[in-house]
Structure 1
Amino acid sequence: MNCPKLPRTCALPRPWLRLHEECIVIRGYFSQGLFGRDLLGSIVVFLVALPLCMGIAIASGMPPAAGLITGIVGGIVVGAICGSPLQVSGPAAGLAVLVFELVREHGVAALGPVVALAGLIQVVAGLSRLGVWFRMISPAVVAGMLSGIGILIVASQLHVLIDAVPKARGLENFAALPAALHDAISGGGGNLAALLVGVSTIAIMLAWEKLRPASLRFVPGALLAVVAVTAAVQWLGTSVNKVEVPSNLWATVTLPAFDSLGGLLQPYTLVAAFTFALIASAETLLSAAAVDRMHSGVRTRYDRELAAQGVGNLICGVLGALPMTGVIVRSAANVQAGSATRVATILHGGWILVFATLLPWLMRMTPVACLAGILVYTGIKMVNLKQIKSLAVYGRGTALIYVATTLAIVATDLLAGVLIGFALSLLRLAIQSSRLKVGLDAHHESGTQLLQLDGSATFLKVPALARTLERVPPNTRVLLEVDRLRHVDQACLELLTDWGRNAPVRGCELVVDWHALHRRVEGVRKAA
């Protein structure tokens, strides 16, 4: 399109002026080579996303087509309206555990309404400008959540790795694993072949990560492993479970019936939808913040990103697909491949659509154990123990919150573990905010001591303050300084009042500016 520059004195109607400006932008997009960067980036992200879409669907107890549809919607729809142009959305390993439990307890039919309602919650939150509030979750809790999810994924996919059915809970999977491995190794047959397929997949990914040349760094190890292992299985005629992908991808779409709308008011639906929305939003927005640190381009608009994720989940819920989040693995690949705009994200969704529509027979050659190997590798990478050291820089309590959240998720479930981590974060905050330095020092006046309070005097510090007051010798005049006291609550105020009232019995006296002390009580105006 040829759009000559207009002279400064030229006056055009507003619609024509807007069209001219858009024409200049489009021409600059191609002339500056941005399209070439986005095209290459979209292919790289597509190669990363394709096996993960199918693998996460299998880990969630859903058919691979459900993951492919979510990847398509996340790329084309969410990519076009998102607030983080370089972030890539799709089915996330972080929600696989939740989906698996929901499908196991309430059936596949329950997933669509839950995901749609979660999407609606995200849309409302985004339009209400609540996006930034989802980032208030402690990074230690989020890191612990991802580590716990990684452990659960490894525990379940190790069973899939030998063509076995995983258990419902993480601890059950770990407990049943030795017997399952023994049966696979001693019994031979398909289980042993599947184990070799999965181990070979992990070995190829590890070797590629360590040995790949710099010129081929954009080639994903997962893709290389899938191609190599699938080719070997086909050539040898190995009997293992293969991925089941329908010839017509959209034939698997089941629109919700009118009767199922009543399920939206079921208690389990509301709880599950809120859980999905909370965890998906936190993971998405923290991923977006991480992506912003990887490049110097357009910054994330968090409220718009949250609303876009809601639209995507609303569509996925209607189509009966998996829930989506912004995924750091694909987003990092997008940035590292040199993508410049949101066009790369949109194109990657288009590649998934074309591949799943025109080449389903090719995907049906992929062994399930191969995808399980990819997820085992991904889950191990999510459990980054080096984070303990980096979090400990902000205090040992932060590192302990990370460990406690991880263990709680593995021992209970995802929601309970996150709530435990959040509660521990609030407890640590309460303890830190109630730090109080209590000093009882001699005064230059004879028979007088100086009681200094520095910090916040809360009920947590009542024992320490009481022990200090007990050390006051008889016949002593105590001067209480409150200049460095930021806050005093009812418990500490009553302790000081009672001690001052009973002090004359021991010949003591408490001297304090009660007016200044009461100004530091919460809820009282701090007027001079």
Structure 2
Amino acid sequence: MELLEMPSPTLSRRAWRADFTASIVVFLVALPLCVGVAVASGVPAELGLVTGIVGGLVVGLLPGSSLQVSGPAAGLTVLVFEAVRQFGLAALGVIVLTAGLLQILLGLLRFGRWFRAISPAVVEGMLAGIGLVLIAGQLYTMAGATAPAGGLGKLAGLPELAGTIFSSAAAWTAFAIGAGTILVMVLWSRLPGRVRLVPGALVAVALATSASLLFDLPVQRIEVQGLLGSINPATLGDLAKLGDIALLGTVLAFALIASAESLFSAAAVDRMHDGPRTDYNRELVAQGVGNSVCGFLGALPMTAVIVRSSANVEAGARTKASRVLHGVWLLLFAALLPATIGIMPLAALAGVLVHAGFKLLPLRKLVPLWKRHRGEAVILVVTALAIVVLNMFEGVLIGIALAVIKVAWQASHVQVRVKDTGSGPIKVRMSGNATFLRLPVILDKLEALPNGRPVDLDLTGVHHLDHACRIALMAWADRNENVDIVQPEQLTQQ
């Protein structure tokens, strides 16, 4: 009987071949993104590869989700860039390490499933805001220019950037390379499936690099420090920076945003395959372990990345082996071919990230969402704009606050029905949840009743009566004679 339950050697060989092929595909997808995210974050390019390697070799072996792939994410680029600008590159390791430890704690306390309770509109708005800032910032890199600080500054400077592109041959050349990279990626996505097994980002960067070398174009290229030279392990002295309240706020932002993005990615990946479902608490612990290792090495933070994860599933991956092997290929590339990074044009990698930024914008979802759930659409747009105007952490907090207010408003739905037969007392029946949010509506109805007439106020249909409403109703009854209030026992005990 045990022999019948064991997988056949043929099935094992098929699974191994599928995982091996998928790992190559994921590696080719991850390579330009790891480098591009690092450069856009204002850190050495090799640190993006370090995070990708840890995502494969460390997180890839841990339990949680079997097929999603972790690494540096475009979604954290803006936050990392601002953290490095504000606290310095040396503090990045401490921030990521502490955020990872916080993720481990949240996972052990079984908070993983609660991240799924975050409003999808807030998450979509967060990604949209990140996408807008990412696009605006990388447009400057595509032209070989320095981006202004802040989301509003980047957007406000775009007209001047356009003038620079059309007036400077060097800026026009660099921008053309970036725009060509985007065009290749867009066209590549429309080719047959067999062709698209080779990732469009890799093809686009390879073509841009070849063209810049062939025609000896005057474009900026990536500075290479070497894998070991770029690693900056966190020290005990760096831990003293945790006394900075602003830095702790950044830690919290890293932990919450990375966790939410990873677990939402896990939910999306689970819908793409029929294999084992994700254990969200274990996945949160795995992400925390990965970020702790990345922080110790002074590398970029990681999340589960939907682009790499979907490529892994679509390439036919069966087990964790595919994501572990992709980490092996990244390690071999970083160790054996580091000089290859140095010939890539910055404009081409900026084009890859502009394309990734557009994918973060929910352009197709916004109009249907506005038609069906207008409140959710408002939360999405306000969250995105708040991230652009303020920063990511404050923007997300504003989005969550709006989502809570929306739920509270909907939960406080109350109806006030008035029945006046012309003789006898006026019958007023309230039903629903009477909270301070609906108090103006309730008082408008009651104060519009004719003076001097007896009133029977029936509260038996009210499920919840908060303190503010109770005080207001009692005060209204004291001001009016002949008011008889009927309420169930549970309301008298609230």
- TM category (shorter chain) comes to over 0.9
User: How far, CA to CA, are the matches of 1:241 and 1:26 in structure 2?
Assistant: 53
User: How far, CA to CA, are the matches of 2:184 and 2:433 in structure 1?
Assistant: 57
Give, in angstroms, the shift of residue 489 of structure 1: 1.2
Q: What is the 5 A alignment of 1:230-249?
A: 230-246=209-225, 248-249=226-227
Distance 1:358 1:29, change over 3 A: farther
Identify the residue that residue 18 of structure 2 maps to in structure 1.
37
> Contact between 1:447 and 1:475, CA under 8 Å: does it hold in 2?
no
Give, in angstroms, the shift of residue 214 of structure 1: 2.8
> Contact between 1:143 and 1:402, CA under 8 Å: does it hold in 2?
yes
> Contact between 2:222 and 2:342, CA under 8 Å: does it hold in 1?
yes
The worse-fitting range, judged by mean Cα deviation, of 170-179 and 197-206 is: 170-179
User: How far, CA to CA, are the matches of 1:177 and 1:393 in structure 2?
Assistant: 32
Identify the residue that residue 452 of structure 1 maps to in structure 2.
429
Q: What is the 5 A alignment of 1:119-518?
A: 119-189=100-170, 191-210=171-190, 212-246=191-225, 248-392=226-370, 395-442=373-420, 446-504=423-481, 509-514=482-487, 516=488
User: How far, CA to CA, are the matches of 1:184 and 1:108 in structure 2?
Assistant: 31
- For structure 2, the residue ranges without an aligned partner over 5 or more in a row are none
| Residue number among 88, 91, 98 corresponding to 1:107 in the alignment | 88
Give, in angstroms, the shift of residue 475 of structure 1: 4.3
User: How far, CA to CA, are the matches of 2:8 and 2:138 in structure 1?
Assistant: 46
Give, in angstroms, the shift of residue 380 of structure 1: 1.3
Give, in angstroms, the shift of residue 67 of structure 1: 0.4
User: How far, CA to CA, are the matches of 2:3 and 2:15 in structure 1?
Assistant: 27
Give, in angstroms, the shift of residue 379 of structure 1: 0.6
User: How far, CA to CA, are the matches of 1:382 and 1:136 in structure 2?
Assistant: 21
User: How far, CA to CA, are the matches of 1:426 and 1:156 in structure 2?
Assistant: 31
Report the RMSD for the aligned CA atoms in angstroms: 2.0
What TM-score do the two structures reach when normalised by structure 1? 0.89
Paired residue type of 1:419? L
Distance 1:256 1:501, change over 3 A: closer
What is the total number of aligned residue pairs between the two structures? 494
| 4+ long deviations beyond 6 Å | 5-8
> Contact between 2:90 and 2:232, CA under 8 Å: does it hold in 1?
no
Q: Deviations over 1:50-78 (max 9, x none)?
A: 00000000110011101000000011100
Residue 55 (structure 1) aligned with residue 33 (structure 2): no
> Contact between 2:127 and 2:361, CA under 8 Å: does it hold in 1?
yes
The worse-fitting range, judged by mean Cα deviation, of 454-463 and 86-95 is: 454-463
Give, in angstroms, the shift of residue 253 of structure 1: 1.3
Residue 520 (structure 1) aligned with residue 479 (structure 2): no
Distance 1:510 1:188, change over 3 A: same
Distance 1:199 1:487, change over 3 A: same
Give, in angstroms, the shift of residue 318 of structure 1: 0.7
Paired residue type of 1:320? G
Distance 1:213 1:442, change over 3 A: same
Give, in angstroms, the shift of residue 478 of structure 1: 2.1
User: How far, CA to CA, are the matches of 2:3 and 2:18 in structure 1?
Assistant: 32
Q: Which has the higher contact order (CA 8 A, sep 6+)?
A: 2
- For structure 1, the residue ranges without an aligned partner over 5 or more in a row are 9-20
Q: Secondary structure at the match of 1:229?
A: helix
User: How far, CA to CA, are the matches of 2:8 and 2:381 in structure 1?
Assistant: 49
Larger Rg: 1
Give, in angstroms, the shift of residue 184 of structure 1: 3.3
> Contact between 1:113 and 1:269, CA under 8 Å: does it hold in 2?
no
- What fraction of aligned residue pairs are identical, expressed as a percent? 46
What TM-score do the two structures reach when normalised by structure 2? 0.95
Give, in angstroms, the shift of residue 446 of structure 1: 3.0
